[in-house]
Amino acid sequence: MSLRDLFGRRRKEDTGPEAAAAEAVASDAAAPTGHIGKYEIVEKIGSGGFGTVYKAWDPLIRRHVAIKTCEVGSKDVRNRFFREAQIAGGLQHPNITFVYEFAFEGDVPYMVQEFLSGEDLDRMIRRGANLSRQDKLKILIGIAFGLEYAHRAGVMHRDIKPGNVRVLDTHSVKIMDFGIAKSVDPVNDITLTGITIGSSSYMSPEQIGGDSIDFRTDIFSFGVLAYELLSSRKPFQNDNLFLLLEQIVKTEPTPLAELAPDLPPSLVALVERAMRKNPDDRFPSTRDLRNALVAVQQEVAPAEAAISGVLGTPLAATESARLQALERLGILDTEPEREFDDLAHLAAVLCGTPFALISFVDRDREWFKSRVGLSAAELPRVLAFCSQPVARDDSRTSPPRSGSRRTPWSPAIPGCGSTREPLSRPRTGSPSEP
């Protein structure tokens, strides 16, 4: 029996409304125009010098995917394509495009990625999309989050530009195309010999000069992208490639404040610092860049108000004191510790769940000290389960669970296999209802 036969068979109970809904989703995948591996091709959505991008349908998991092929026979190009799959496939973050699979159809390699709704940022800029200042800040912060995660994983993107950023319908963003990304591990570095790396208008001076580069090259490209997003104009423009590259290395662009006089000075200064010619004059890390962006967001419209608008509830009045205490604790971004990992695994066992987290929420993210069943190391605060601090009035003691099939043996639950006073009483807090 083939996998198609196995997954195509239905049980008797799979004939109700849920099955009808599943069929409706499947029917959305139009009649296939061909196949790549198990995937049914729906339509071609793009093509370039190296290959083609298709929208396809996964008939087993029942979801749309994007398939990128590499149709060039060059060994260097194929190595780069494979390396892109390796690098992007190892980065799992809400602001980076997920890679599901790498395989071959005949002798043509292909990569399967999540299919993204929305629109590329370069197209939005060209058509003058109606984006508020908060929308633009949200886009920039999302890019900074994704870059920060990639840098912490030891990966430089090296081709940050609006065309490699997808803006979803919610204005959240996904960084795409790690085709020329570079790992800090020199053994794994693949660069195309004789080909200029990076899209010209967004290249850093050190890239152009062939100097050694580090993560700050992405910060320069981010600054160019931010300049363009905020002013609708590229900072460096020339039809002659040589003169364009000379401009980037030697010439300062038109001051952003002249092109967008309504921008707050702090945001203008941030973009200018990111675009400094000397890497030492830029932000030392994307974490510092991201913190500066959040500070601007607080100035323009306080972060608490922005977050509350998403979550629908105000932050506790004690939030500032909690953040100060968290900073004094100094636990954020520390190395894993066995005690915390053991506690997370114990929580998963006691609760009978494949997921367990020990996390800390700071001003703009939830960071996981230990985790079970989750690959991401952090989430933006607006997406975090624990984005709101649990106040005393938000918690309650759960009733005895002695009859629960999930914890019939737990000594921590009243009446569960023990006559002693329980070690603790389970409590629930936000976002549970009291």
DSSP secondary structure, 59-110, as one string: TTTTEEEEEEE-----HHHHHHHHHHHHHHHT---TTB--EEEEEEETTEEE
CB 148 within 8 A of CB 91: no
Alpha carbon distance 18, 240 (integer Å) = 59
Alpha carbon distance 153, 233 (integer Å) = 32
Q: Where are the beta strands (DSSP E) in 274-377?
A: 356-361, 365-372
- So which residues are the catalytic ones? 159
CB 181 within 8 A of CB 87: yes
CB within 8 A of 396, min separation 6: which ones? Answer: 427, 428, 432, 434
Instruction: Dig out the tokens for 21 from the structure.
Output: 């809904």
CA torsion through residues 315, 316, 322, 326, sign: negative
Length of the chain: 434
Alpha carbon distance 172, 40 (integer Å) = 28
Q: Using the 8-state DSSP alphabet, how is residue 421 labeled? A: P
CB within 8 A of 194, min separation 6: which ones? Answer: none
CA distances from 157 to 23, 69, 113, 140, 176 (A): 40, 20, 17, 16, 9
